[in-house]
Amino acid sequence: MLVGLPLEMVHGSGRVALIYMAGVMAGSLGTSVFDTDVYLVGASGGVYALLAAHLANVLLNYNNMQCGILRLFGILAIASCDVGYAIYSRYAAEAMGPPVSYVAHLTGALAGLTIGLLVLKNFEQKLHEQLLWWVALGVYAACTIFAVLFNIMNPTVEAVENLGDGVNSQYVYNRFGV
């Protein structure tokens, strides 16, 4: 609510929903490629996409904003603290449960930045911002295509134990979550 509502008030629900869903998908795909030993629960990729969309909003509309630099530092401070804590929890702290996937956070943020640059309203478009639009489109498309192809070409099959009550599942495709 705190992250998405300000964006939604300026740019509309459809654009914010697209950014959120792209972040969820990117978080899942990124984890399936780079960090397969963790379980994904929740929507951290989508939340980080919304955080990074604030960064995209500042990049696109800096000249029309009041306190744009303050917004930029606030976004970076919140994201840096949370990603730092996730990395610390994963590698330095005593494990209390399944590890946290910081890769979902980072790939969700990358999706939020790139999709945010593509779909958020730019109130004064300049020539160099058109180039930035094409670069963002290329980065998002290349990363998504790579992750999908990686998952198709490298399916991980693991045996599953007896689930009880006569239910015995033989295989689970980890990377697809099926």
The per-residue pLDDT for range 66-86, each reduced to its tens digit, is 777 888 888 888 878 877 887
Q: Catalytic annotation on 44?
A: yes
Which of 28, 32, 44, 101 does the annotation list as catalytic?
44
Enter the tokens of residue 164. Answer: 């009880």
Give pLDDT, residue 23.
Answer: 92
Is residue 175 pLDDT above 60, yes or no? no
Query: Per-residue confidence at 111, pLDDT binned at 50, 70, 90?
Result: very high
Return d(Cα 96, Cα 87) in angstroms, integer: 14
Say which range, 30-44, 110-124, 153-167, has the weakest mean pLDDT: 153-167
Q: Which of 57, 53, 58 is nearest to 22 (CA)?
A: 53
Closest CA to 108 of 177, 20, 36, 175: 20
49-71: b (≥16 Cβ within 10 Å) or e: bbbbbbbbbbbbbeeeeeeeeeb
Q: Look at the pTM and tell me if it is higher than 0.85.
A: no
For residue 164, list its beta bridge partners: 167
SS (H, E, C) the chain: CCCHHHHHHHHCHHHHHHHHHHHHHHHHHHHHHHCCCCCCCCCHHHHHHHHHHHHHHHHHHHHHCCCHHHHHHHHHHHHHHHHHHHHHHHHCCCCCCCCCCHHHHHHHHHHHHHHHHHHCCCCCCCHHHHHHHHHHHHHHHHHHHHHHHHHHHCCCEEECCEEECCEECCEEEHHHCC
Do 124 and 60 contact (CB within 8 A), yes or no?
A: no
d(CA 116, CA 133): 10
